[in-house]
Amino acid sequence: MAEKFREDSEIISQECIGTDIYSMWLKTDKIARAAVPGQFISVYSRDGSRLLPRPISICETDKEKGALRIVYRIAGAGTREFSKYHRGIKLSILGPLGNGFPLERAGEGKKAFLIGGGIGIPPIVELSKQIGGVRQIIAGYRDEVFLAEELKQNGSLYIATEDGSCGTCGTVIDAIKENGLDADVIYACGPTPMLRALKSFAQERGIECWLSLEERMACGVGACLGCVCQSTEVDGHSHVHNKRVCKDGPVFLSTEVEL
Amino acid sequence: MAEKFREDSEIISQECIGTDIYSMWLKTDKIARAAVPGQFISVYSRDGSRLLPRPISICETDKEKGALRIVYRIAGAGTREFSKYHRGIKLSILGPLGNGFPLERAGEGKKAFLIGGGIGIPPIVELSKQIGGVRQIIAGYRDEVFLAEELKQNGSLYIATEDGSCGTCGTVIDAIKENGLDADVIYACGPTPMLRALKSFAQERGIECWLSLEERMACGVGACLGCVCQSTEVDGHSHVHNKRVCKDGPVFLSTEVEL
Amino acid sequence: MSRIDTSVNIAGVVLKNPVMTASGTFGSGEEYSEFVDLNKLGAVVTKGVANVPWPGNPTPRVAETSSGMLNAIGLQNPGMEVFIKRDIPFLKKFDTKIIVNVCGRSEEDYCQVVERLADEDVDLLEINISCPNVKEGGIAFGQDPKAVEHITSELKKRARQPIIMKLSPNVTDITVMAKAAEAGGADALSLINTLTGMKIDIHKRAFALANRTGGLSGPAIKPVAVRMVYQAANAVKLPVIGMGGIATAEDAIEFILAGATGVSVGTANFFNPTATEEVVSGIEAYMEKYGVDKITDLIGAVR
Amino acid sequence: MSRIDTSVNIAGVVLKNPVMTASGTFGSGEEYSEFVDLNKLGAVVTKGVANVPWPGNPTPRVAETSSGMLNAIGLQNPGMEVFIKRDIPFLKKFDTKIIVNVCGRSEEDYCQVVERLADEDVDLLEINISCPNVKEGGIAFGQDPKAVEHITSELKKRARQPIIMKLSPNVTDITVMAKAAEAGGADALSLINTLTGMKIDIHKRAFALANRTGGLSGPAIKPVAVRMVYQAANAVKLPVIGMGGIATAEDAIEFILAGATGVSVGTANFFNPTATEEVVSGIEAYMEKYGVDKITDLIGAVR
Ligand SMILES: Cc1cc2nc3c(=O)[nH]c(=O)nc-3n(C[C@H](O)[C@H](O)[C@H](O)COP(=O)(O)OP(=O)(O)OC[C@H]3O[C@@H](n4cnc5c(N)ncnc54)[C@H](O)[C@@H]3O)c2cc1C
Ligand SMILES: Cc1cc2nc3c(=O)[nH]c(=O)nc-3n(C[C@H](O)[C@H](O)[C@H](O)COP(=O)(O)OP(=O)(O)OC[C@H]3O[C@@H](n4cnc5c(N)ncnc54)[C@H](O)[C@@H]3O)c2cc1C
Ligand SMILES: Cc1cc2nc3c(=O)[nH]c(=O)nc-3n(C[C@H](O)[C@H](O)[C@H](O)COP(=O)(O)O)c2cc1C
Ligand SMILES: Cc1cc2nc3c(=O)[nH]c(=O)nc-3n(C[C@H](O)[C@H](O)[C@H](O)COP(=O)(O)O)c2cc1C
Ligand code: FES
Ligand code: FES
């Protein structure tokens, strides 16, 4: 089991990279070096009225500097608080958490789809840097495009927007079809409807498919059973049809889970 | 009735002036100009888990710059929070609150005692600047002396320390006696035992005596009845033997209140 | 904004909007009228009024807790005669409804106040049945359904204004109390009063409040309050006034969606003196944003 | 620090210090053993265990509130057989006491778990009587004194380990429940379980929890918990384990001064994974500072 660390990490920089979307680099002692793509951190609020940590995916790591990047959208009071902080402030974080994407399922001679939807795009950045084989990155947005520069550097990027303002008009699956793409393995993170569509898409085409799920969390470490998803089979830990997104996931094989 | 203002005031400066004692200057739009000596402000926490404002006396005002000074001791979580803030941060404050010291009871040809005990000393600074007549300032401390420079500038300063490290060894009353002082009117702010002693001292000598009381507050404006003290007579507002420290006080004639 | 209808009807009394003040946190309106335009509020609910002046409890009467506060004011009030002479005329100057909160130590106390107010120009009476009841050995009326029904029907007989029974949350099943008040003839319910709590100063090794226990209020209790408002509103046909931790329009709308016809702002006044007015304008903004024409469409919309 | 005695005795079981984990917030210890040295804790209290695996409630199961959180996990657990095979051996590796929290949907369920655990190497059983009770129409055992006394005496007959009855705070008078448990033969009490609450998402106009209501925990509820611990400890002769919002040593000492012999850290683990250990060392520091030699001198010292 990978080790987890609790750190008071210093904000190296923070910038707004889109409407309500922020990018923050954090200096960490150990977390950045220990992290693998697809893992997340728990970010603790500095306001005592907000107790629960916010789970945020690791978008990039700089192992040399021991720094990690998160990219997040303001969704409520917690993320709004984070967006107000500037360089030098310390944020308490816990990580790296969860399992991460299984890099070994791709590699030399294999074609992979690396798919991100909306605020599920950030973890795809580090994944695209570390994974082997042919990298076909498909990013789906409602309208405004972000993180595209980073993604382009690590593979062929295909964009889909719901309003058609950039790339394919439609979903990430529309983009795959429009560009006639195929793959041996899928890695994806994004909203549940997208993951659900990818699960059946992968099933139809018989492609191995790894999905990163989201669920409301409390502990983030597997103790509270707050964040479960339904599993196809009885789970080895819970002994019921439930898996913990925070600990057994967030990345699951699409056939393991019900969506 | 004096007008009260709610302002987001900017911290001009903050410094530590003694063990756990902080001095802060705040830029205000209207409060500093409207304030009279002995009034206080309610300082709101920025941490959503702490709801109630902290009442802090106005130590000095700079009417030209529209600035006011508070001097406070770390007593718990709220004052600890304030002590961490630096220049530029905005603090939400409400004031000026309460009645203040009746300056007209002193003046030309009258001798006044201006007495502060411990963290009750701050309001005596502005009082000593604005009051007329002969100003005999008596400041009582446990051990560590603070604000003495400011006090010296506006009158003759007599110091008492409980441990005898400076001035008279003992209480403010010991200092009065040791120095053979007398006065026509007393103004005082400090811990209840000191006020209680002054009340009987004044009674014995037949001196008019104004005391600034402390009580735990919630609203700070007279609405909640959280902060009452016992009054000698049935009070005209409450119709019972209670007066509101925040609104009817904090300054009372010693004969009006039970201590 | 004129297109939006925020008015609500509580027992035949039409309020221009559902926003009121919670009893005991707003005096009789005078202190906060320096910060808030009382004309903008649906109603002002006064501090509890008894038949005679009450001195209340010794101090300390208040203490802070995480996202909440404890109070043991002990219902200090100047008695109904002073209230009628001084506070009603003050409130009559404003275009807002007047709701008088009534307290007592015995059934007779309550009856006297209600009878005395019969000919006064007030709109509604709110009966605080969480007052300590000396005769019944310290258990509040509000914790026994038979007592709730009985006192409600006694007061209903005497009251000229509609009566709102204010329920205590310190009960096993709030629906039992709500139904008892309905059976007794209540015109409306309000809830929740404070949860009984305690704080100890570990350095002084003493109770933080002179009274030992006090009532917990503020954002800390909001989830309990929303739950009870939801349960009560679904258990009876009466309009419900919801309160407990309301500090923003979002909080108020949460109570309305749970089933509240009116909402009261209490402890929030202490940390934001303009909270009541902000709740009013925030509700309007929410209705604009989501295209809600009538606030009554939101009442109990989540079920 | 060796001079200081932090040990407490709960129903004949001596804990090295009063600090435990609150059931359901610490799993069976494994997850938090990455952050905390379990050897430092007085006891580990496990997640509720039933006779058979329970799938729990649909998600969302958790929501945040001001200084608190709501949970409706629905007592998901792998059942007693897995628990005995996997979790007890894990906990036995540490020098700490093991307290198994027991849940059930019927009296038989509880009896089965208690009987099955009789020969297992656990120190104490904590009986969660706030579980939904299918047979009695959804009202929890814990809200009816007759049911509390009855189930306590039935379990007492069968249990080999001392039993701690864990009381629900959603009652009018906690002392009635405490006395009922005592009359039924309980060896100790623990309180409080969560307060029932609700949260509504006003933008989605939907309940924040799939289960609609959930249990409120965290610092928000501490004043209610301290009050109930004080009342219960003064109403019965049994040792009381206090919990509800304990996040720091100061909080723990507040409960001890109110009458608690043991203290449990729950929700605080979620926002500070090392909270339990910090409470242990903070209690020692407090005792050092004030020259308290035996922690038992602090129990119920404020009255
Ligand atoms: C493993 C994981 C990784 C994540 N990575 C990112 C990321 O890289 N960037 C990013 O912007 N967001 C990410 N999220 C979502 C992020 O955790 C939530 O947006 C955040 O917790 C909201 O907190 P808040 O206080 O701002 O909003 P709140 O007021 O708490 O909630 C606002 C809305 O956000 C949604 N939400 C809240 N918490 C969660 C949650 N734990 N999971 C899903 N939805 C939630 C709710 O639907 C709610 O309506 C991730 C979530 C998970 C579980
Ligand atoms: C009119 C007035 C003027 C004041 N002026 C000053 C001042 O100029 N400088 C200064 O340092 N302090 C002043 N105080 C006291 C100050 O308000 C408290 O120290 C502060 O509120 C404590 O807050 P906290 O969160 O730090 O501590 P808490 O954790 O809230 O309390 C810590 C301790 O402080 C005491 N305390 C808390 N609130 C009050 C209160 N309202 N009145 C009296 N004691 C309290 C309690 O005994 C408690 O044990 C004044 C109080 C009043 C009523
Ligand atoms: C200081 C204070 C005094 C109160 N006095 C009364 C009262 O006189 N009568 C009454 O019915 N409720 C009284 N209450 C209860 C409030 O009206 C309200 O029911 C409770 O505080 C919950 O709302 P809140 O969380 O918005 O404050 C008082 C509450 C506080 C904080
Ligand atoms: C996520 C969660 C799960 C819980 N599960 C259980 C449980 O299985 N059995 C039980 O008796 N109490 C359970 N509780 C209640 C806690 O043990 C404790 O009584 C309550 O949370 C108050 O303490 P706290 O405020 O420190 O969390 C649970 C609480 C939480 C937050
Ligand atoms: S968040 Fe607690 S188990 Fe996943
Ligand atoms: S603090 Fe509310 S009346 Fe004084």
| C37-81 per-position pLDDT tens digit | 999 999 999 999 999 999 999 999 999 999 999 999 999 999 999
Which residues, judged by CB distance below 6 Å to any ligand atom, belong to the binding site of ligand 6?
B 217-220, 222-227, 244, 246
Are A210 and A234 in contact by the 8 Å Cβ rule? The answer is no
Token pair 């005990």 in the structure block, residue: B117
* pLDDT for residue B2: 73
Q: What pLDDT was estimated at residue D138? A: 54
Buried b (16+ CB within 10 A) or exposed e, B153-188: ebbebbbbbeeeeebbebbbbbbbeeeeeebbbbbb
Name the nearest CA neighbour of A249 among A105, A102, A98, A127: A98
pLDDT at C1 over 90: no
Q: How far apart are CA B211 and CA B192, in angstroms?
A: 10
pLDDT for C111 beyond 50: yes
Dig out the tokens for C177 from the structure: 């109390």
Q: What's the C5 CA to ligand 4 centre distance in angstroms?
A: 43
- Going by their DSSP bridges, the two strands A21-27 and A67-73 should be labelled as antiparallel
Residue D284 Ramachandran class (φ > 0 left, ψ -120 to 50 alpha, else beta): alpha
CA A136 distance to own-chain centroid: 17
The answer to whether the CB of D17 falls within 8 A of the CB of D42 is yes
Yes or no, beta carbons of B48 and D66 under 8 Å apart: yes
**pLDDT attached to residue D283:** 98
Q: Which residue has the tokens 């090295």?
A: D16
Rounded Cα distance between A160 and A174, Å, is 8
Interface contacts (A, C; CB < 8 Å): 4
CA distance A227 to chain D (A): 7
- What's the token pair of residue D289? 């500072």
Name the interface residues of D facing A (CB cutoff 8 Å). Answer: 24-27, 31-32, 34-35, 47, 53-56, 59-64, 66-69, 71, 73, 76, 78-79, 82, 218-219, 267, 269-271, 273-274
Residues of D with CB under 8 A from a CB of B: 66-67, 219
Separation between Cα atoms, residue B199 and residue A234, nearest integer Å: 78
Q: Which residues of chain D have pLDDT under 50?
A: 1
For a pocket test of ligand 4, which of D19, D20, D25, D67 has the largest count of ligand atoms closer than 8 A to its C-beta? D25
Residue type, C229: V
Is there a contact between B169 and B141 (Cβ–Cβ < 8 Å)? Answer: no
Q: Subunits that touch chain C (at least 3 Cβ pairs < 8 angstroms)?
A: A, B, D
Ligand in closest contact with the CA of D102? 4
A224 in a labelled binding site = yes
Res B63 pLDDT > 50: yes
Kindly state the helix (H) or strand (E) to which residue D61 belongs, with its residue range: none
The predicted structure's pLDDT at residue A57: 98
Whether C131 is a known active-site residue: answer yes
Q: Is C218 in the pocket of ligand 3 (CB under 6 A)?
A: yes
Q: In this complex, do D227 and C197 lie within 8 Å of one another by their Cβ atoms?
A: yes
Give residue-wise pLDDT tens across range B211-223.
Answer: 999 999 999 999 9
Collect the ranges in chain A with pLDDT lower than 50: none
Q: CA C234 to CA A21: how far, in whole Å?
A: 41
Q: What is the Cα–Cα distance from B95 to B39, expressed in whole angstroms?
A: 8
Structural domains for chain A: 5-97 (2.40.30.10), 103-214 (3.40.50.80), 215-250 (2.10.240.10)
CB of C263 closer than 8 Å to CB of C256? yes
SS (H, E, C) D78-141: CCHHHHHHHHHHHHHCCCCEEEEEECCCCHHHHHHHHHHHCCCCCCEEEEECCCCCCCCCCCCH
Q: Which residues, including other chains, have CB under 8 Å from residue A153's CB and lie 6 or more apart?
A: none
pLDDT tens figures, B36-56: 999 999 999 999 999 999 999
User: Does B145 carry a binding-site annotation?
Assistant: no
Q: Which atom of ligand 3 is nearest to the CA of C48?
A: 8
Asked whether C142 lines ligand 3 (CB < 6 A), one says no
Judge whether C6 and C286 are in contact, CB under 8 Å: no
Model confidence pLDDT, tens digit, residues A136-158: 999 999 999 999 999 999 999 99
Cis peptide upstream of residue C192 (ω within 30 degrees of 0): yes
Nearest to D67 among C66, C70, C202 (CB): C66
What is the three-class DSSP state of B32?
helix
Full 3-state SS string of chain A: CCCCEEEEEEEEEEEEEECCEEEEEEECCCHHHHCCCCCEEEECCCCCCCCCCEEEECCEEECCCCEEEEEEECCCHHHHHHHCCCCCCEEEEEEEECCCCCHHHCCCCCEEEEEEEHHHCHHHHHHHHHCCCEEEEEEEECCCCCCHHHHHCCCEEEEEECCCCCCEECCHHHHHHHCCCCCCEEEEECCHHHHHHHHHHHHHHCCEEEEECCCCCCCCCCCCCCCEEEECCCCCCCCCCEEECCCCCCEEEHHHECC
Per-residue confidence (pLDDT) for residue B54, from 0 to 100: 98
Q: Strands, DSSP E only, in C85-194?
A: 97-102, 124-128, 163-166, 188-191
Residue minimizing CA distance to atom 25 of ligand 1: A78
Q: What is the three-class DSSP state of D54? A: strand
CB A68 within 8 A of CB A35: yes
Decide if B50 touches A, using CB distance below 8 A: yes
Q: Is the ipTM of this complex over 0.90?
A: yes
Write down the mean pLDDT value for chain B.
96
Q: Model's pTM, two decimal places?
A: 0.97
Residue D133 is assigned to a ligand binding site: no
Note the pLDDT tens digit of each residue in B187-211. Answer: 999 999 999 999 999 999 999 999 9
Q: What is the pLDDT of residue C131?
A: 75
Nearest-angstrom CA–CA distance, C41 and C265: 11
Name which residue sits closest to atom 26 of ligand 3, judged by CA: C266
